[in-house]
Chain A
């Protein structure tokens, strides 16, 4: 039982480069989300999705794009990486039904932008 799988675990980018962080879940969860975690800032919501074809912005969406073409996958795209995007990124999923909001997290991607 894989749960939520994130790749890669570590990534170093140069300013201006683009890349995609991958996230896949095998629990048939409708709700998926991306958070970034910075020291002293906790987890901040970037984008989320309540089902295939539906996405919405969270607290800090600028500089990131998402799409949800299947229930299983929810990739996060950095269009033009900036040093301010250096962070640990977590993907999370849940059933998304009222009373069943338990989030299952991936193991994270540590991203450094030079």
Chain B
């Protein structure tokens, strides 16, 4: 079983829709949770970072962490065609140095 599971998609939604992207994990030691966005033929870029349960908001993006369920989500409001990309969740525990990624969800926003 992989430590981090993520539905690969692809996910296609109309412009303006609310998008929900999710990851589950099995390692209860994970303390830091991140979402990266990757455009085609580019390296990933950090989008959201959180280290506690609950919600963190940044503009149209909200990251949600539920440690009791080992479940994290990224919500995108008022989605735009420029949000079309692959979204990768990533996690790290406080004692280890390595960051583990999910498989990524490919998202397409239709104009």
Q: How far is the CB of A104 from the nearest CB of chain B, in Å?
A: 8
Band of interface residues on A: 20 to 34
User: How many B residues touch the partner, as a band?
Assistant: 20 to 34
B28-46 near A? 1/0 per residue, CB < 8 Å:
0000101010000111111
CB A54 to nearest CB in B, in angstroms, measures 9
Per-residue 0/1 for A37-69: is the Cβ within 8 Å of any B Cβ (1 yes, 0 no)?
Answer: 000111111001010000010110000000000
Within 8 A of A (CB), among B32-72: 32, 34, 36, 41-46, 49, 51
Which residues of chain A are near B103, meaning CB under 8 Å? Answer: 40-42
Q: Which residues 2-54 of A sit at the B interface, judged by CB distance below 8 A?
A: 4, 31, 33, 35, 40-45, 48, 50
Interface: B92 (CB within 8 A) = yes
Interchain CB contact under 8 A, A56 and B97: yes
Bound Cα distance from A4 to B32, whole angstroms: 23
A40 to B8 CA separation, bound complex (whole angstroms): 6
State the CA gap A58–B42 with chains docked (Å).
Answer: 22
- A74 → chain B, closest Cβ, in Å? 14
Question: Which residues of A sit under 8 angstroms from B45, Cβ to Cβ?
Answer: 105
B44 touches A105 (CB 8 A): yes
Within 8 A of A (CB), among B14-33: 32
Task: Tell whether, in the assembled complex, residue B42 and residue A107 are in contact, meaning their CB atoms are under 8 Å apart.
Answer: yes
Q: Give min CB distance, B106 to chain A, whole Å.
A: 10
Cα–Cα distance between A56 and B104 once the two chains are bound (Å): 24
Cβ-closest chain A residue relative to B43: A105
Q: Which of B6, B36, B97 contacts A48 (CB 8 A)?
A: B97
Q: Which of A's residues lie within 8 Å of B, judged by CB?
A: 4, 31, 33, 35, 40-45, 48, 50, 56, 58-59, 90, 92, 96, 98-99, 101-103, 105-108
Binding site for A on B (CB under 8 A): 6, 8, 32, 34, 36, 41-46, 49, 51, 88, 90, 92, 94, 97-104
